[in-house]
Amino acid sequence: MSVTRAIILAAGRGSRMHALTADRPKCLVELAGRPLLHWQLDALHDGGIREVLVVRGYLGHKLVGDFQTLDNPDWEHSNMVTTLGKADHWLRQAPTLVAYSDILYRQEHISALAQAKGDLAMTYDTDWEALWRLRFQDPLSDAETFVQHDGFLKEIGSRSTRISDIQGQYMGLLKLTPAGWDRVHGLLSERGQEAVAKLDVTALFRLLLEQGMEIVTVPVQGGWCEADSMDDLRAYAQALTDNKHQNSRWSHDWRIDPTSKEF
């Protein structure tokens, strides 16, 4: 079954952007001349997505465009798992891609994830170390364990003391079928609203693994980034500039055509 729908989770403020999000949601902060959200919408549409739902929260009234919207009014006291739950009706209708609002990616990553089998699938970056070394003095200060075997997730979300133990990094892109969401929703219902409000996505994956759910892993190599802070924005802008001067392409450049005059 083809995937033509996507949800962007855009409820949080993004406090590590500091003044940049004083008057706008995080996904409207600009990188390489355009808001993060606009880059995402282009990649989704180019990857075959025809319907997009943005789940809003902080300054949600500013998120308007050629997409549908829902709101998480309790965004300040919840997390992305709660925000995802607001889209319950959408997730029960058809296979759906889900993306964090502060990531950028190439359309081929969307196409690869859409074609993945299984009720729950995720992309992961095998070239993660290059990106984490750009963002952090010590990559292991932020990187989490990621272990897969034969295309299925085995471990995620813990700390490691060795780079060699980490096969990749989860990117904030996943796919859910209605059956997959039913499994996730059932687990969340068992835990209760207060517990869910404290649950992050990788912790949710661990709980699903404990219940025996298969999570398909889709490898990609670069071509994406996470804009989590002002430092990230500065690092990415510098990487794009440096590679342009060297007439080369940065390994994690998400843009379709970096030689276009638009850039």
Is this model's pTM higher than 0.85 or not? Answer: yes
Query: What are the C-alpha distances in Å from 218 to residues 47, 85, 118, 237, 257?
Result: 15, 24, 11, 27, 24
Any domain includes 11: yes
**Contact 6/99 with Cβ under 8 angstroms?**
yes
pLDDT at 259: 55
> pLDDT value at position 261?
42
Which token pair is 46?
A: 């180019």
Give the CB-side neighbour count of residue 260, counting CA atoms within 13 A.
8
Q: Which SS3 state, helix, strand or coil, does residue 74 take?
A: coil
Per-residue pLDDT 10s for the chain (263 aa) are: 689 999 999 999 999 999 999 999 999 999 999 999 999 999 999 999 999 999 999 999 999 999 999 999 999 988 999 999 999 999 999 999 999 999 999 999 999 999 999 999 999 999 999 999 999 999 999 999 999 999 999 999 999 999 988 999 999 999 999 999 999 999 999 998 888 888 899 999 999 999 999 999 999 999 999 999 999 999 999 999 999 888 889 999 999 765 554 44
Q: Is residue 169 part of a domain?
A: yes
Cα separations in angstroms, 239 against 119, 132, 242, 253: 36, 13, 5, 9
| Host H or E run for residue 89 | helix 88-91
Among residues 98, 96, 88, 28, the alpha carbon closest in space to that of 60 is found at: 28
Q: What is the rounded distance in angstroms from the CA atom of residue 134 to the CA atom of residue 136?
A: 6
- Output the domain CATH number for residue 77: 3.90.550.10
Name the domain count of the chain. Answer: 1
* Gap between the Cα atoms of 156 and 20, Å rounded: 31
Q: Output the pLDDT for position 162.
A: 93
Any domain includes 254: no
Q: Is residue 250 part of a domain?
A: no
Is residue 263 assigned to a domain?
no
The continuous run of DSSP H or E covering 15 comes out as none
Instruction: Tokens for 196, please give them.
Output: 């869910």
Measured from the Cβ of residue 159, the count of other Cβ atoms closer than 10 Å reads 10
Question: Does residue 75 form part of some domain?
Answer: yes
Domain range spanning residue 176?
5-245
